[in-house]
């Protein structure tokens, strides 16, 4: 059973790697399942034992990335230094830049990115209480933090990681987290 599990994981890893490489080369829309299986050196029929279509493969890749990011950021509490949290986030993106580029640029991942925003927004709401006199509703502020973080990651990737992960962590703190917390959340 363990040998079979290893083979399944190996096949899935090869298919994911092929999808990422091909998407970076050609764009997601022009990549076919045949292209993926040829690049991965996996039988065409084998693909369908694991996935219904290339969107399902892309969704699995996104879920793995999200799980890894949540595990990475899980130890931080609401009162943690946002620059430290941001630095960890941007180091992860840097270490997985090819996958992140594909996930943020592929039309097939948009539905899952919306789920990420919704889940992230819920997490922010669970960690904060609204400021009494704020003109900004807490649910909008929470959504802003998450959506702006994704936009900042996208900008950084689009500009070939021009700043260090540490600089991006500071930018994340100063541009997104601190102003939003000051406007909408109780400390």
64 & 47 share domain: no
104 & 22 share domain: no
47 & 66 share domain: no
143 & 114 share domain: yes
Tell me the β-bridge partners of 185.
130
| Percent of the chain residues topping a pLDDT of 70 | 91
What Å distances lie between residue 120 and 31, 159, 169, CA to CA?
A: 30, 25, 18
Q: What is the mean pLDDT of residues 123-127?
A: 85
- Backbone φ and ψ for 185, nearest 5 degrees, come out as -115, 150
Tell me the β-bridge partners of 130.
185
pLDDT of the residue at 45: 95
Of residues 124 and 2, which shows the higher confidence score? 124
Tally of structural domains, the chain? 2
Question: Is 1 a residue whose pLDDT tops 60?
Answer: no
93 & 139 share domain: yes
80 & 114 share domain: yes
pLDDT of the residue at 107: 66
146 & 89 share domain: yes
CATH of the domain at 31: 1.10.10.60
Q: CA–CA separation, 187 vs 53, rounded Å? A: 46
What Å distances lie between residue 123 and 59, 118, 127, CA to CA?
A: 21, 9, 6
The predicted model scores a pTM of 0.81
Owning domain of residue 77: 58-184
82 & 45 share domain: no
Could you please report the per-residue DSSP string of 110-177?
HHHHHHHHHHHHHHHHHH--B-TT-SS-HHHHHHHHHHHHHHHHHHHHHTTT-S-HHHHHHHIIIIII
pLDDT digit string, tens, across residues 23-81: 989 988 899 999 999 999 999 999 999 999 998 998 888 888 877 877 777 666 667 88
pLDDT band at residue 113 under the 50/70/90 scheme: confident
Determine the distance from the C-alpha atom of residue 65 to the mean position of all C-alpha atoms in its chain, rounded to a whole number. Answer: 6
How many CB atoms neighbour CB 88 within 10 A?
Answer: 18
132 & 112 share domain: yes
Tell me the β-bridge partners of 58.
none
Residues 28, 55: contact at Cβ < 8 Å? no
Return the structure tokens found at 15. Answer: 């298919």
Nearest to 167 by CA among 91, 107, 76, 115: 91
Domain limit, last residue, from 30, 51, 72: 51
End-to-end Cα, the chain, rounded Å: 51
36 & 119 share domain: no
CATH of the domain at 74: 1.10.357
Q: What is the mean pLDDT of residues 19-24?
A: 91
pLDDT digit string, tens, across residues 147-159: 999 999 999 999 9
84 & 15 share domain: no
């Amino acid at each position: 059973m363990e040998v079979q599990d290893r083979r399944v994981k190996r096949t899935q890893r090869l298919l994911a790697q092929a999808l990422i490489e091909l998407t970076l080369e050609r764009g997601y829309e022009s990549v076919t399942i045949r292209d993926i299986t040829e690049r991965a050196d996996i039988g065409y029929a084998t693909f369908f034992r694991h996935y219904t279509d290339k969107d399902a493969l892309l969704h699995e890749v996104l879920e793995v990335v999200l799980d890894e990011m949540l595990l990475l950021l899980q130890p931080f509490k609401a009162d943690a230094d946002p620059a430290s949290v941001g630095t960890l986030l941007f180091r992860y993106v840097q270490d997985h830049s090819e996958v992140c580029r594909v996930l943020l640029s592929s039309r097939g991942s948009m539905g899952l990115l919306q789920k990420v925003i919704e889940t992230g927004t819920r997490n922010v709401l669970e960690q904060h209480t609204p400021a009494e006199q704020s003109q900004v509703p807490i649910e909008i502020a929470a959504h802003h933090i998450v959506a702006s973080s994704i936009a900042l990651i996208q900008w950084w990737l689009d500009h070939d990681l021009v700043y260090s992960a540490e600089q991006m962590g500071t930018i994340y703190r100063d541009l997104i987290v601190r102003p939003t917390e000051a406007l909408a959340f109780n400390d």
